[in-house]
Amino acid sequence: MNIKFFDVHSHVNFSYFDEDREAVMTRMKEAGVATITVGVDSASSKQAVTLAEQYDNIWVSIGLHPMDNQKESFDPQDYADLVQHPKVVAIGECGLDYFRIKGDTEKEKKRQEQNFIKQIEFAIEYDKPLMLHCRPSRGTLDAYEDVLSILNSYFKIHASKLRGNVHFFVGSVAVARLFLDIGFTLSFPGVITFASDYDKVVASAPIDMILSETDAPFAAPVPYRGKRNEPLYVKEVVRRIAQLRKEPYENVREQLVSNALRVFNIPSDVA
């Protein structure tokens, strides 16, 4: 396989792709795009693994999203077989999402925290990186602060095993620094092609600590805004990262692929 682009976070396992998944995969293959497709509960994690068995440019992250399935709690038993699969390279997406909380805020935060902690411990046990989802309430950085405080408490005991990537990073330069300090990478989606809020973070983070993603089917980049997103469009994200950093496109493209292989421990002979 000749990987030219790595979309480290997509949901090609979701039903949004049921009609034309084969065509989406063909477009990816032709352009040399690989992806990590991400589960948000036990069913979608299983679907992601099934998909990865069919396509050699797909890897998988398994776990429970903080918000997407509120009926489910993270039960390590549900994931114990899946995590042994050679294509499973991360745990998540997990974390804290305060953006959409309604009703009893404290109770909901507690519920999310418990699921998050179980997944941190699961990731440490199986020596996998975390795929973090972290979304603060409007106008604040609250969820980042809480995620960092939880991670830091684990970092003190398990510094060698605790690792991961902050998906869809929308924090400040200062918050970015705190994640980088504990070795976590940051991945940027299509949002950076139309919002300037993250320009400084993209430009100032060390090049070996950033990753490209789409979060497809959501958040399509320019010039596809408003359409369903797909991993192929990660090209636009890579182009924008190079532009913001004022670095040669080819160097950035290659570096982002090698970062993804390193962070998710994907052997480069496979890639």
CB of 242 to Zn ion, least distance (A): 24
Q: Which residues in this chain contact Zn ion in the complex, by CB under 5 A?
A: 215
DSSP 219-265: SPPTTSTTSPP-GGGHHHHHHHHHHHHT--HHHHHHHHHHHHHHHTT
CB-nearest residue to Zn ion? 215
CB of 250 to Zn ion, least distance (A): 28
Question: 64 vs 252, which CB is nearer to Zn ion?
Answer: 64
CB of 252 to Zn ion, least distance (A): 23
Tell me the C-alpha distance between 190 and 36, whole Å: 16
Q: Which of 82, 73, 55, 78 is nearest to 110 (CA)?
A: 73
Q: Is 218 helix (H, G, I), strand (E, B) or coil?
A: coil
Question: 217 vs 252, which CB is nearer to Zn ion?
Answer: 217
Question: 215 vs 236, which CB is nearer to Zn ion?
Answer: 215
CB of 159 to Zn ion, least distance (A): 27
- Where would I find the beta strands (DSSP E) of the chain? 5-10, 33-38, 58-62, 88-97, 130-135, 164-167, 185-188, 210-212
CB of 168 to Zn ion, least distance (A): 7
Question: 229 vs 259, which CB is nearer to Zn ion?
Answer: 229
Question: 12 vs 162, which CB is nearer to Zn ion?
Answer: 12
